[in-house]
A and B are shown apart, each in its own frame.
Chain A
Amino acid sequence: MLEIRGLTATVDGREILHGIDLDVPAGEVHAIMGPNGSGKSTLAHVLAGRDGYEVTGGRVGFGGRDLLALAPEERAAAGLFLAFQYPVELPGVGNANFLRTALNAVRRARGESELDAVQFLKLARAEAKRLSMPEDMLKRNVNVGFSGGEKKRNEVLQMAILRPRLAILDETDSGLDIDALRIVADGVNALRGPQTSALVITHYQRLLDHIVPDRVHVLAHGRIVRSGGAELARQLELEGYAGMAADAA
């Protein structure tokens, strides 16, 4: 599904990623853990194609395509979804309208028929209900006046509706109470299937109690310094990053 080889990237001329190699096969959930400033969010933004993050070397294959050659919206249409660490407010833009516009853009790009307002609302209400989200979330403006937890839940709702092939969660757990954390985890777990993958970026192990990953990778100083099974996350929780970060330095 996702194949990263020798990926290097700079931000403002400074190299942040020093050569990442990573494989996320279809159907697997991988976690990326690491201390602050290790390059976790940079990796997420590079994969999503954000301006200002310059790829200086390496390649990324996504479902057999050259991901780095695609514009951000083409990556979205190809099935890549990024749940933002800091979801953005869009004043005056209704959540339902935004989601339908996004879903139909993606469906159009995939050669699927667009959903009309009635069909869409039926789908959106069902997803909101499944994720125990109040329906009025659809009527409000995108992230405007949302609490931190509501914003993250809204990301999960978008993910549920857009049904990506690869979901990247960029510290979606930060600032969440335990109930919200469970909703986020439920959203990711519901997406799991033989054709979908997830890359869960987190600083803490606690999200991984709810989303049990197939693999855990530790990122430090722009490199993956260690990979292992789910037990690696628990080990990190006990021992901290200090030892591993030192390995990479």
Chain B
Amino acid sequence: MEYDLPSDFDIIVVGTGMVESIVSAAASRIGKRVLHIDSNSYYGGLWASFNLDSISKIPEGNRSQPVVENKENEIVYPVGNDVFDLRIHSQKWHIPESNPEKDVDESDSAVAQEEHEWTQEKLLKISRKFNIDLAPKLHFAKGDFVELLISSNIARYSEFRSVSRILTWLNGSLEIVPCSRSDVFSSNRVSVIEKRMLMKLLTSCVDGDENEFKGYEGKTFQSYLKDRKLTENLIHYVLYAIAMCTDDTLCLEGVEKTKRFLGSLGRFGKTPFLYSMYGSGEITQAFCRLSAVFGGIYALNQSLNGFIYDNDNTFKGIICGKQRINATHLVMSLEKLPKEIVDFSTTEYISRAIFITDKSILEDEREHLTLLLFPPVDRKAACVVLELGSLTGTCPKGLHIVHVFTKQTVNPEDDLKHCVEKLFCKREGESNSSPSILWSFYFSAPNTFSQKLECEKLLNTYVCPGPDLDLDYDPAIERAKEIFERIYSNAEFLPRAPDPEEIIIEGEDNNNIINETEERAEVPADQGDVSSELAHEDDT
């Protein structure tokens, strides 16, 4: 379809990843004219979720390799780099393509109910019931992210599920981590004496005065736990599961992490964590929606052909298709950065695996949403395992999606092998109590949060990192806020959006109420802030 976008904005946001989407929402919210575009046909960039069919086709990168053009008074930089692409290591089926003996033309519910022999054909047929995250995230119930969602009123767009149990790997088997008071007391894995010790320790981590940790400034959290005479098992629970630390984590950091965990208990459900229904990719869309509600213009699937700068390297505009669009500020995701100015000396990677499995890693009467914190062993880093069932809206009934990830040291297969081998059947067709892997996907994703992303060379230009290893979105929010405050230093960051009941009168949509207006006007330019809209008279 042929159309032109408006050609003048306060800010252009390129890419619909998490950080970009938060900045877009925040700018729109204070009345700035925002153009938010993406060269992909989907929302989320490296933070997106895909159905089964489309994840098998995700491009490893978006390449166009034109060169820097020097025009009179202006420089046009090409868009995109291949430095921060996903690196796909393998994507494999572990089930037959089809089952010729059976009639495959069954309805979805029949597929879910029957005692099934899963085939590739069957799974692909219900491909859209899958929402597979490239960067799965959990949310601390009292963390920065949840607080921001609530304070900005974005929370109403999304639905969440509580993580229903937290597991760890201890003495060769999966154990439920007792994380709340009632868990601790009902656990039969913890002796009465241990219960008292654990409660006492958790209490002193939360309420402990400075003296409690005196002398531990340079020491590890593990040494503190040992000095408190905790048993081996308790140290394991606290160190690896509750605090999510390594043996080397310093005491005060361990205490902070314990507090982060305990502080989120009891707000929404049994564990401190929430997961966004239909996948983590929904979250970027919620921020984009807020941006649109406040007048942000959205255009996916755009061919971006260049970033325009003047001779002083000040941002002027972009070339989108054949159109030139001007703006004062440019915010972009790092994979859209011109190759010429990327500093990629220190890119770290995250090793990720995604599996579709036929049952839970720890079967129970009801479906669980499980977080397994797999401890570090033999110089292998700790792995995070997230198992999602059909109640999360990310996979069909009877199946699970399992995400496994860790900091990359070698490659995804090698980094995760020790953990994967313990949880799943080793060979195809082997039947024991472990779940079988029906489909597997190993890839590396860049972790760019620790990377320097200032482009000092280019003025009025701000770069957003991709997904990191944090369980929650805290670092993304912090980065978005930083960018927002550098652009609009005195403005409020995502103040609460009004509820429908609080908005009395419409302004801009008036021409839409009467059908004589043939087309929706080219809206964006004159959308003031909401407070001025509220003052208009209702003339319908």
A binds B: no
* Interface residues in chain B, defined as those with a beta carbon under 8 Å from any beta carbon in chain A: none
Interface residues of A (CB under 8 A from B): none
